[in-house]
Amino acid sequence: MSEVTIQRSDQKMDEIMGSLLRTGVVLAAAIVLLGGVVYLSRHRVPVTNYRIFAGEPAEFRTISGIFHEALAFHGRGLIQLGLLVLIATPVARVAFSFFAFLYERDWTYVVVTVLVLGLLIYSLFGGHA
């Protein structure tokens, strides 16, 4: 009987996780597309030189800078916001797994998800400029 319950709760977790991933990707693609349209409609200049690496300016490198640019409805800011949503999608999936394992009282995997989540947050907010 308990076997059946475990199977069912895992299956529910799989379904929620699947929807979460799909929503994240669709939302990110939509924002990037919108940003792309804004960017190209206002930016008919000779193409940026990608041959030599110059690095992005601060407004496209930091989370606060990206939000600022996106709220101003600048094309490239919106694209970066979409990419940020995309990067956050797997992070949200790990965060969701954390709560799911907590609910199942699966302590080993609560620790596992905390470790992974910690590494991801360090990468996003660690400030590696």
Helix pair 63-71, 75-103: axis angle to 10 deg: 120
Establish if 105 lies at the interface with other proteins (CB under 8 A): no
Establish if 102 lies at the interface with other proteins (CB under 8 A): no
State which of positions 48-87 bind other proteins (CB under 8 A).
48, 50-53, 55-57, 60-62, 75-77, 79-80, 83-84, 86-87
Distance, in Å, from the CA atom of 12 to the CA atom of 98, rounded to the nearest integer, reads 15
Distance, in Å, from the CA atom of 25 to the CA atom of 19, rounded to the nearest integer, reads 10
Establish if 95 lies at the interface with other proteins (CB under 8 A): no
CB 61 within 8 A of CB 129: yes
SS (H, E, C) 54-86: CCCCHHHCCHHHHHHHHHCCCHHHHHHHHHHHH
Establish if 38 lies at the interface with other proteins (CB under 8 A): no
Q: How far is C-alpha 122 from the geometric centre of its chain's CA atoms?
A: 14
Smallest distance, other proteins to C-beta of residue 92, A: 10
Q: What is the DSSP letter of 48?
A: P
Smallest distance, other proteins to C-beta of residue 85, A: 10
Look at residue 114 and give its three-state secondary structure. helix
Smallest distance, other proteins to C-beta of residue 29, A: 6
Sites of contact with other proteins (CB under 8 A)? 10-11, 13-15, 17-19, 21-22, 24-25, 28-29, 32-33, 35-36, 39-40, 43-48, 50-53, 55-57, 60-62, 75-77, 79-80, 83-84, 86-91, 93-94, 97, 106, 108-109, 112-113, 115-116, 119-120, 122-129
